[in-house]
Structure 1
């Protein structure tokens, strides 16, 4: 009987077709996945695998072919696996680390000149395929999909201008382009992937390093806000960048810096802060002839799970009363639109309360130049669309795994919705003067 089953599987695998359109796309593009030439009502498992360096991720979903022997992922329900229901991009956002991966892994593209390669395969029947990748599994059909952050003809230019260190990404053409500065959080270094994607969507995007990179300060406590003004001045001075202001997109600590730039720098035309405190956090922040005070982390308030993972969400000094109140960023001084992006289940920063506190300051001064995108069951790291949910992140500063919060499907919805609204904000505002 086993011999007969193998013969049948070989016959099926010679006939079944797996179609993916487009086979090469940006990471925020949707793809159509269709399986054809199955038996009517045949149960199958779709399996996605991604390998990036030492990292391995997988996802799978169960489907049943229709009466014509087809599975159309964008129209048919997943009956089980890592997600259920109709979800065109479920195989991408539901990816999880493969068994044996170290806890705290976060998928980030380190080399944007190469794509993520996602191997898709079709298996007969409904099964859990998340086990050992080395186990032989008969495949009815396979396809490799390219997922890019860097679009065709987008230029990548290393930046070393005055104190400014980073990477500038330019869309095809002569411009002028709307300029955006992209800032990440307290891990330091120079993440480039989001800036590359911004340029692929038409912006002149500067991925800005600010510590733990090149000759910049080694520690985040040594930075000053003047550095970010120098970066904004440099970007807006370029002949192929619109001179009417730059956008700033920041996540976590980077969002705090984006808010400071919006509040205190007239060259900022729009700001989006993702999962961010709205007070200066961790260390005082010098700017020109003043020093902004900070709220500090209180390690005794950190919650530690039995696995040794850290929940930081209640670990900050209270910014709603003195002395922490003095550390609040004066967002009411901002003349440009500010977008707050906050997950209700953020276990790293109390993003929603912080955003509401900042909005209350703006309202108290008669300001209406704010938008709050608040997402239920969403965590801290709200990234571009279809990025796998990261609920646990190894943080080099703490040398521990930090809980990020969120539930995969809701977090995925937040990523897709917020990304397009952030792009719309910058497109609308950076070609005109701030209101």
Structure 2
């Protein structure tokens, strides 16, 4: 179903009068707080009230995400004598999750049908639409709609294809100057995650640059010999197109993008804060398929940045022991690892680190710990924090109440990944608010 029809369907569900099979005036309603649209990731509570005690009710949640993919969760609840179900306190008797969970209907949703094709530079929709339908014995008792903005009304997007830079600058409504946040994705290339995150950050009042650095037309096809100067040039270009507060430029990176953010911030003092999801404490080799030769990922001043060889780690052959193999390469190549440590103590601002305790891609928890140990040992004067989520995997940097089922090759427990997403974004917004 085309994305425009899915959005229209959600809207019609919310406003349509009772149809055949729908119970008009029957007991039971869905209460969503707050009632109006929210920014993706802002807290939402859902309650069912006015229910008949001891009777089964089915809550169906259908989400059309920002790329037009449809997800559905179906859960059955039985109310007690109060006639109220609080999702945060009451577990379904059967369905897609098993215990009381305020996020359960979101993270346990399963994709329906064939996913839409998403290109590496495609822009997401401005909102995620969630249709909630309450049924009893197959009849609709109540329905409502939850709108979660990625990009709130009034914010704008400017596509940047200039001077060799490929990105999209998300700008909040209103006058500046404003802090600039630069977003860097991981080894998948493109700018899909960056766009999602940049839109939400713009909705919170930040200038946000979703920046590609390989894997799109006009840029290198693979993560190999990427000049670190590219990131400084992207910052300069953003300043030419928006009213940037020059004293407040942050970088947020995921995986190899976290490595890049930490490394770039050691070179360019205008970067005054770093947030790193699933970070590395060292620089790893480039990824140039299909043979993966010993090749630098990054250059600086035209010279390759020293790296740890991991030639046998191939992203297109994910295995459960990839993190262990990465750890083995760090041990086997101890001399190269020592020469490739990122001198994070040179960063001119606060640092925030997130990692998952069951990251199967690389040992981000250990590497984040090594970063903080180095900062402490070097007497780093700026604030720094590290948060680890025990059962989360590698990729929980996406904002909002969204499906995390199944976890896929990036690992982690779906429920743990969902809570890591919500909690890490809450902490990151607090971090950025204190920094700005």
The alignment's TM-score, normalised by the length of structure 1, stands at 0.81
Residue 319 of structure 1: aligned partner: 330
Residue 169 of structure 1: aligned partner: 170
SS at match of 1:117: strand
Q: Which moved more, 1:179-188 or 1:157-166?
A: 157-166
Residue 67 of structure 1: aligned partner: 81
Residue 275 of structure 2: aligned partner: 272
Aligned-partner Cα distance in 2 for 1:182–1:138: 46
Residue 372 of structure 1: aligned partner: 386
Residue 341 of structure 1: aligned partner: 354
Write out aligned runs for 1:46-85 (5 A). Answer: 46-52=59-65, 55-85=69-99
Aligned-partner Cα distance in 2 for 1:258–1:424: 19
SS at match of 2:432: helix
Aligned-partner Cα distance in 2 for 1:337–1:196: 23
Deviation at 1:142, TM superposition (A): 2.9
Deviation at 1:281, TM superposition (A): 2.0
Residue 420 of structure 1: aligned partner: 426
Q: Is the 8 A contact 2:178 2:207 kept in 1?
A: yes
SS at match of 2:325: coil
Aligned-partner Cα distance in 1 for 2:196–2:246: 25
Residue 403 of structure 2: aligned partner: 388
Q: List alignment gaps of at least 5 residues for structure 2.
A: 1-19, 287-295
Query: Is the alpha carbon distance of 1:390 and 1:343 closer, same or farther for their aligned partners in structure 2, counting shifts above 3 Å?
Result: farther
Deviations 1:238-263 (A, max 9, x none): 66211103011111111111111222
Aligned-partner Cα distance in 1 for 2:414–2:260: 28
SS at match of 1:47: strand
Residue 106 of structure 2: aligned partner: 92
Q: Is the 8 A contact 1:252 1:274 kept in 2?
A: yes
Query: Is the alpha carbon distance of 1:390 and 1:46 closer, same or farther for their aligned partners in structure 2, counting shifts above 3 Å?
Result: closer
Query: Is the alpha carbon distance of 1:10 and 1:392 closer, same or farther for their aligned partners in structure 2, counting shifts above 3 Å?
Result: closer
Q: List alignment gaps of at least 5 residues for structure 1.
A: 1-8, 126-136, 394-402
Aligned-partner Cα distance in 2 for 1:68–1:175: 51
Would you say how many aligned residue pairs link Structure 1 and Structure 2? Answer: 395
Deviations 1:397-425 (A, max 9, x none): xxxxxx21211222222222211111122
Q: Is the 8 A contact 1:189 1:211 kept in 2?
A: yes
Write out aligned runs for 1:15-30 (5 A). Answer: 15=26, 16-21=28-33, 22-30=35-43
Deviation at 1:309, TM superposition (A): 5.8
Deviation at 1:156, TM superposition (A): 0.8
Q: Is the 8 A contact 2:278 2:356 kept in 1?
A: yes
Residue 4 of structure 1: aligned partner: none
Residue 250 of structure 1: aligned partner: 253
Query: Is the alpha carbon distance of 1:282 and 1:190 closer, same or farther for their aligned partners in structure 2, counting shifts above 3 Å?
Result: same
Q: Is the 8 A contact 1:48 1:60 kept in 2?
A: yes
Aligned-partner Cα distance in 1 for 2:140–2:319: 38
Residue 17 of structure 2: aligned partner: none
Aligned-partner Cα distance in 1 for 2:180–2:303: 28
SS at match of 2:143: strand
- Pair 1:241 & 2:241 matched: no
Deviation at 1:13, TM superposition (A): 6.1
Query: Is the alpha carbon distance of 1:392 and 1:32 closer, same or farther for their aligned partners in structure 2, counting shifts above 3 Å?
Result: closer
SS at match of 2:181: strand
Residue 158 of structure 2: aligned partner: 157
Q: Is the 8 A contact 1:23 1:144 kept in 2?
A: no
- Pair 1:291 & 2:295 matched: no
- Pair 1:328 & 2:331 matched: no
Aligned-partner Cα distance in 2 for 1:60–1:318: 45
Deviation at 1:51, TM superposition (A): 4.0
Q: Is the 8 A contact 2:355 2:364 kept in 1?
A: yes
Deviation at 1:386, TM superposition (A): 2.0
Deviation at 1:123, TM superposition (A): 3.0
Aligned-partner Cα distance in 1 for 2:81–2:23: 17
Q: Is the 8 A contact 1:49 1:59 kept in 2?
A: yes
Deviation at 1:23, TM superposition (A): 4.9
The alignment's TM-score, normalised by the length of structure 2, stands at 0.81
Query: Is the alpha carbon distance of 1:303 and 1:166 closer, same or farther for their aligned partners in structure 2, counting shifts above 3 Å?
Result: closer
Aligned-partner Cα distance in 2 for 1:109–1:46: 36
Q: Is the 8 A contact 1:389 1:408 kept in 2?
A: yes
- Pair 1:143 & 2:144 matched: yes
SS at match of 1:315: helix
Q: Say which of 49, 55, 59 aligns to 1:42.
A: 55
Q: Which moved more, 1:361-370 or 1:268-277?
A: 361-370
Residue 398 of structure 1: aligned partner: none
Residue 407 of structure 1: aligned partner: 413
Deviation at 1:14, TM superposition (A): 5.2
Aligned-partner Cα distance in 1 for 2:385–2:392: 18
Query: Is the alpha carbon distance of 1:237 and 1:56 closer, same or farther for their aligned partners in structure 2, counting shifts above 3 Å?
Result: closer
